[in-house]
Amino acid sequence: MTFDPATPLAGRRALVCGASAGIGRATARLFVQQGATVYGLARRAERLAALADELDGAFLPVVADLDDRPATLATVAGLLEEGGPIEILVNNTGGPPGGPLAQATELAFVEAFGRHLFAAQALVVALLPGMKARGYGRILNVVSTSVKEPIPNLGVSNTVRGAVAAWAKSWSLELPPGLTINNVLPGYTDTERLDSLGAATAARTGQGVLAVRAAWLAAVPEGRLIAPEETAAALAFLASPAAGAIRGVSLPVDGGRLRSL
């Protein structure tokens, strides 16, 4: 195994979902810095365009909505036809709204499974032939620490995240040598998603947003929110040749918040 440790993703092509903000944006930026050509998929065209301007040609915007899977798959098919195999896939999208299971509707579950599990399955199937042809593939799923410990008042999210983890583990047994799949489990990360969850929790409990955040941080031994760039660094390692022997794992990037092994 030979590669330049400064640019371990040189010559690779990656599809990063949710690339317009948060962890997805940080991941796209880091992948480019490490030599990859990145297709950044998201709904917000103006944010993707701004990132493309910043990254100067190595980042290619892909405006698509994972809720519209037929249209997204048609777009991805066009990318493959035009540029060839995509060897790295980052499945990443915003989580479902919070709330207890007693208030969850059937539609909320259907939408969550569609956006997180069904979309990921469809993208893997679409990219798999090219990965096999290249003898190199990295499928990376940005999930949640709720895979290991359910998070209160995130009942729908807890359910679908657990399903994604089981799906990934099953794929890890079927992928051929050279192709891997792994999950990264972000903890309390400084993103727009966390801001929205904090506001919702404050409204539900009557606490202030600052009090909500203080309670979160009290459970994190590192004592701070995690930066999106830290989660991106874990994804970049798992995408690299150096991580070829790692498959089917769920790696927390949570400042030590999880209490389980």
pLDDT by residue (tens digit) across 41-86? 999 999 999 999 999 889 999 999 999 999 999 999 999 999 999 9
| Closest CA relative to residue 155, chosen from 96, 211, 198 | 96
* pLDDT tens digit sequence for 159-185: 999 999 999 999 999 999 999 999 999
- pTM for the predicted model, two decimal places: 0.94
Query: 6 vs 136, 162, 205, 223, 248, CA distance in Å?
Result: 19, 35, 47, 30, 26
Per-residue pLDDT, 1: 67
pLDDT band at residue 116, thresholds of 50, 70 and 90?
very high
Place of tokens 């990965």: 131
User: In degrees rounded to 5, what are phi and psi of residue 174?
Assistant: -105, -25
Does 149 score more than 90 pLDDT? yes
Domains of the chain, first to last: 13-187+227-253 (3.40.50.720), 189-225 (no CATH)
The three-point CA angle 17-19-23 to 5° equals 95
